[in-house]
Amino acid sequence: MTQRTTLITGVTQGMGRALALDLAPRGGTLLLHGRDPGRLAAVAAEARAAGPGTTIRTYLADLSDLDQVHAMAARIRAAEPHLDGLVHNAVAGGGERPTVRELSRQGHELRFAVNHLAPYALTRALLPLLTASAPARVVNVASIGQEAVDFDDVMTERDYEGLRAYCRSKLAMIMATFELADELRGTGVTVNALHPAHLMDTPGVRAYGLTPLVGTEEGVRPTVRLLLDPETATVTGRYFDRFTEARAHEQAYDAGARARLMALTHRLIGEEPAAG
């Protein structure tokens, strides 16, 4: 990994922090994203201590605000000569008050915005850098918790519950993974999604009132495999349950549903889809 440049979102706690500390000793350049400047600086300091020979740079943005997502992407494109790996780890979970419906800066349901719109918008904005750096890999940290997107109520305005919104947003992320992988075939950029581990010991799991079953290192290992393992270098458009390729929710394989989701997604992030 010595010459690789990797961007990880959501590194200030949970699996993101563990992932940053796992990658830091491997060399190259590590780009760390967070929304809290103090916590981001603290994790960056830990990463520098863990990998003294690794270049660490930080990028601050609140992923619930698409304007900040686009601005961060512009800063990255201006500052970074290449980008070999992108791990979308930042997440809005079920929430401490799961019956309270929260909105993003643009007025979208918060989990749909942070877990689907933001990573897709960031990937699209960084595609020129990723394709120029090919071979490059995009890893979307999804979940085994998936629920069909209701196209009559995409923003979950009816019968709101945080975990339901989370599960819908994670399926949307997987559907976008499949679509983008198809679009990028032949470019040298791979796009995959995974469920990293079941009920890791993270603040999000605890906030929802669930009991963690495993440590964050259990999620780091399968994520790093998709990011770095030579055996997965050409694998794209797949969903993994930890180390094993698995079947996502049936809606992820519905071409019509995926097309509807992507048309909506492009409209909401303010970009037109690619021709063809």
Which entry of 59, 166, 208, 239 is annotated as an active-site residue?
Answer: 166
Give the burial string for 229-266 (b: 16+ CB within 10 Å, else e): eeebeebbbbbbbbeeeeebbebbeeeebbeebbeebb
253 is catalytic: no
Cα gap 160→163, rounded to integer Å: 9
HEC per residue, 8-49: ECCCCCHHHHHHHHHHHHHCCEEEEEECCHHHHHHHHHHHHH
Nearest in space to 3 (alpha carbons), one of 70, 53, 66: 53
Active site residues per annotation: 166
